[in-house]
Amino acid sequence: MCYNIPMNLNTSVETLSGVGANYAKKLHKLGLNTVEDLLLYYPRRYEDFSTIVPISKTRPGESITIKGNIWQIANKKSRNRRMTITEAVVADDTGTMKVTWFNQPFLTKSLKMGDEIVLAGKPEFNYGQIVMISPAWEKLSVDLKHVGRIVPVYPETEGLTSKWLRYQIKPLLKLVFNIKDPLPETLKKREGLTDLPSAVRAIHFPNNKLELAEARKRLAFDELFIILLSGLKQKMGMAKEKAVSVPFEENKAKEFVDSLSFSLTNAQKRVCWEIIKDLKKDHPMNRLVQGDVGSGKTIVAAFAMYLVAKAKYQAVLMAPTEILAKQHFDGLSKVLVPFGLNIGLITGKEAQIKRQNSKGKIQNCNLKIKRGELIKLIKEGDIDVAIGTHALVSDKLEFKSLALAIVDEQHRFGVDQRQALRKRSGLGEGSTLQERVEPSDGNFPHFLSMTATPIPRSLQLTIFGDLDVSVIDELPPGRQEITTKLVSHDKREAAYEFIKKHVSDGRQCFVICPLVKESEKMDLKAATDEHKNLSENIFPNLKVGLLHGKMKSKEKEEIMNDFKMGKCDILVSTSVIEVGVDVPNASIMVIEGAERFGLAQLHQFRGRVGRGEHKSYCLLFTNTNTNFDTTTTKRLNTLVTNQDGFKLAESDLEIRGPGEFMGTRQSGWSDLKIAKFTDIKLISKVRDAAQWFLGKDPELKTVPVLKEKVESIEYARE
């Protein structure tokens, strides 16, 4: 293919020969708008057709490439005359081979007797002779694209094949040397990396496996290097910011710990001490506390809030759902209000306060307090600890002396919400979430984030590279192992009988469904339909409740309270109860459509039971036939045989990728084309290189192209 128009990297794909409006639309669907986009659209895998085999050496069932001359070629109709069959005989110096194509009659015009051709495919026995069926082919030339070499296979969309993309991309490779290389020569030399233009050329059409390996090495390095630079730069920037130094008073800390009805685990004590040391510093803490389900993260957060409030500052905790925010409000009030602290709850539609009354007991003060009144109390400093949902980052909400901001299940929030909360101590009227406004008093709050989804080490170093990480890797005494079973369709009735028995013994059961209403496109158990089925057909004598995210806040709260108080035997719910919900009497977790969830999310669901004294169970129901779907069975059996959240998180990352693992796709962080977040060795190597480079050029002044790329990631984080 030859382009007769002057081109550069910004040339629109519409102007390319052979594209046109129809193909341009398909390219746009893949995000390919310019020549540069096409050049940076990397193959997802390769077919190695580089070794040409003599015809006499071919064997049935082996993928091979042959080269020969066409002796004869002709079309004929199939017996039912519904199909055109093109048959050819190809010969080299060692023998001949019959070649067949179906419904491609035009081949007799493209290929003539005597043409020298290269074919790639898998020969098979047919009527006593070796035949090549529907092979890839190309006339022999010095510029082979589809056979006779390592052939790229691209991510495709309907009507856009890898063969067509190869035709388009190969002639454009002369422009790769116009792509600006963001890496300085010193870094490339230090890491043994090839230059970027050569890597881009080789990633599409490598001459050999070594060249392809070098290209992948360079491009994977680039992808990770930019992400890691962004995180490390942000971490360096936070070290320059100012925060209040919260003094550590050992007697007050001991007073809090002694007030608890249980003993802290060694892991909790270690993490508390790490937080204490951070709070004493005059620059903001930026720490992620991760721990498996039930490891006791909330009491660690309560300890940090207690220290801050006793030092006459304010603390805030943001939760992803109203249910979890309300639960935190109730739980934290029990441990903090007895020390004379005032706790406020603010969500999208309600506000509450808990404080001591004159007799030193916890009281609800004006449950119907207007949100505006609570916002005023927070601004005036009369609320020591504020708890809520994303309503906490409302532009109207200000704090008098915010020293600690905590986000629970932090990966469920957009980056802008986390940044806004971190900077909430003094934002003025009219400020937007995206604006980076210095707090009026010059101090940023300390920032603590928590997650019950164990974050694999590789993601800690990349996506959360700006955070210090604490791990609560020890469960409190009494947390029992949950028996997990994969329930086949023919065992479902037995499972229902099992549930009936446990409910008759006084226990309760969760049933999780993927959707609220039945989808025509996906065969999933909808929560509303499953509630109707269970309450009317399966458990007509039991009280079956329904909970989903589209309900009003008051309705959801009433249903959860009924379930906690035992007024409801079975609760059918969507994934709204994934995190934080604590019902000690619930001993069975049923998950419908289990194959639709990731392992980490299934582990979170499972963690909703096993919180009391009773033996607990997790039953995995699937909508696929696990007797035949070995992939699904293998994945779900990983959960059956494994109680370790960190191991499950690693498996989930490997299977589903970071975008799905994190629950919400975060701009720029899950777009890796070559590198993998599971490659901990490479990530560690690139991180070392990023630290080395920042040590020499912390502001990236010497490499403007690199600085621009890093800033694009940082902008996405705002």
What does the DSSP assignment read for 550-612?
TS-HHHHHHHHHHHHTTS-SEEEE-GGGSSS---TTEEEEEETTGGGS-HHHHHHHHTTSS-S
Phi, psi of 621 (to 5 degrees): -95, 135
- Over residues 232-238, mean pLDDT: 84
| CA–CA separation, 40 and 43 (whole Å) | 9
Nearest to 469 by CA among 488, 454, 486, 485: 454
Helical H runs in 260-341?
266-279, 297-310, 322-336
Answer whether residue 448 shows pLDDT above 70.
Answer: yes
Q: What is the pLDDT of residue 618?
A: 95
- Over residues 292-306, mean pLDDT: 90
Q: What is the pLDDT of residue 428?
A: 33
Phi, psi of 544 (to 5 degrees): -115, 120
State pLDDT tens for residues 88-126: 999 998 989 999 999 888 998 889 999 999 998 888 888
Band the pLDDT of 666: cuts 50, 70, 90. Answer: very low
Band the pLDDT of 397: cuts 50, 70, 90. Answer: confident
Band the pLDDT of 395: cuts 50, 70, 90. Answer: low
Band the pLDDT of 436: cuts 50, 70, 90. Answer: very low
Q: 417-441 as b/e, with b when 16 or more CB fall inside 10 Å? A: bbbbbbbbbbbeeebebeeeeebee
Q: What is the pLDDT of residue 713?
A: 73
Q: What is the pLDDT of residue 247?
A: 92
Phi, psi of 119 (to 5 degrees): -125, 145
- Over residues 358-364, mean pLDDT: 61
Answer whether residue 717 shows pLDDT above 80.
Answer: no
Answer whether residue 404 shows pLDDT above 90.
Answer: yes
Q: What is the mean pLDDT of the chain?
A: 84
Pairing of strands 286-291, 446-451: parallel
Question: Domain 51-148 class?
Answer: mainly beta
The CATH number that domain 250-280+296-451 falls under is 3.40.50.300
Q: Any idea what DSSP says for residue 699?
A: T
Band the pLDDT of 391: cuts 50, 70, 90. Answer: confident
Band the pLDDT of 648: cuts 50, 70, 90. Answer: confident
Pairing of strands 570-573, 508-512: parallel
Q: CATH 3.40.50.300: does it fit domain 483-642?
A: yes
State pLDDT tens for residues 321-348: 888 888 899 899 999 999 999 999 998 7
Q: For the chain, give every domain's residue range.
A: 51-148, 250-280+296-451, 483-642
State pLDDT tens for residues 159-182: 888 889 998 999 999 999 999 999
Nearest to 664 by CA among 381, 401, 411: 411
Answer whether residue 270 shows pLDDT above 90.
Answer: yes
Q: What is the pLDDT of residue 368?
A: 65
Answer whether residue 314 shows pLDDT above 70.
Answer: yes
**Using an 8 Å Cβ cutoff, are 605 and 512 in contact?**
yes
The reply to whether domains 51-148 and 250-280+296-451 share a CATH topology is: no
**Using an 8 Å Cβ cutoff, are 323 and 365 in contact?**
no
Nearest to 656 by CA among 591, 594, 592, 596: 596
**Using an 8 Å Cβ cutoff, are 436 and 455 in contact?**
no
State pLDDT tens for residues 472-500: 888 777 677 899 999 988 899 999 999 99
Instruction: Say which residue, 259 or 50, is predicted with more confidence.
Output: 259
State the chain's maximal CA–CA distance in angstroms.
Answer: 104
